[in-house]
Structure 1
């Protein structure tokens, strides 16, 4: 398999901003073929969770997503910050900020990639249980988030109606439902 790994001969940043960097690489395959240019987008790693309250409700969020021009139903989550000591700290912080809920347990489900051919970051997936509202939302300046509490049946209906379009959040939902033994196949 190591013969499939490319060697990076050079790398040049074309754009750098707060949460996005774009670079152009010059690469060489094991057979000597040169790939030039190869563009890579660098984002911070992301975290997301399927949060379940102590009374068995699922917490979802609704927010406007400008790239699509739509209000989307999603899971809470966001970027891993430099101040986060661990991935679990990042998802606990994001859930608290976006929803006002804190959770007894947080279980790591794995990682996924939005597009491993162009994106250099990962989404880390969690399931959180025993949630309780402990504060008001503490949103970033550009965030307007509506918190939704739904039953497992209502989540299934949202899935059936294809109302959750964020593909990595659907991955998290799948792994979380599997972990919680709530996954039914039709």
Structure 2
């Protein structure tokens, strides 16, 4: 594989398409869906459906206990009809809730811990091909156990598994953990790139 760069990547270069029209076709508390018509540089027209978040970033919280264990939440996901293991996370109640406050709240509600220290370490686009939704990832340390809340009717008896980094990493590699925010968080921790956040 060649290391030669044929074109410097510029994410802000001009768009190859022009937006012609936009119509909202659905709206929920968390997101809305627009049908958007575009015209390409060669004059052809096409439509796409785009999803827009209405309450800001979702969050994920990679929490570390004093002995280095990671709380992973067992959740049943309706859209994919499967159980997942995930770091605590979710949506804001409204767009006025700062993501750091949301991260603290989700760690309490889902993970059963209060964080003495919480620091953002990443932000990424969830599905850039059809959505503007971002997820912000936080590292939570100096944890104190607290009472959890029920997540929702789809997971009435969710459990929290305290997992070592090595075991979590193996679950990423063998496909047990399939949630993107959890995979990103565990790989970042395993790479050692979060060590400076604990200093």
TM-score (norm 1): 0.84
Written as runs of structure 1 = structure 2, the 5 A alignment for 1:147-166 is 147-166=160-179
Distance 1:115 1:35, change over 3 A: farther
Cα 1:157–1:175 shift into 2, 3 Å: closer
Partner of 1:41: 51
- Does residue 180 in structure 1 map to residue 194 in structure 2? yes
Measure the CA separation in 2 of the matches of 1:50 and 1:136: 16
Once the two structures are superposed, the pairs formed by residues 1-186 of structure 1 within 5 Å of their partners are 1-4=12-15, 6-29=17-40, 31=41, 33=43, 35-43=45-53, 44=55, 45-82=57-94, 85-144=97-156, 145-177=158-190, 178-181=192-195
- Structure 1: gaps of 5 or more residues: 182-186
Distance 1:87 1:166 in 2: 20
3-state SS, counterpart of residue 80 of structure 2: coil
Instruction: State the distance in 2 between where 1:8 and 1:106 align.
Output: 40
What is the CA-CA distance between 1:138 and the residue it aligns to? Answer: 4.9
Aligned partners of 1:113 and 1:169: how far apart in 2? 14
CA distance in 1, matches of 2:94, 2:16: 29
Aligned-residue CA RMSD in angstroms? 2.2
My pick for the range that moved more, 7-16 or 119-128, is 7-16
In structure 2, distance between residues paired with 1:4 and 1:121: 20
TM-score by length of 2: 0.79
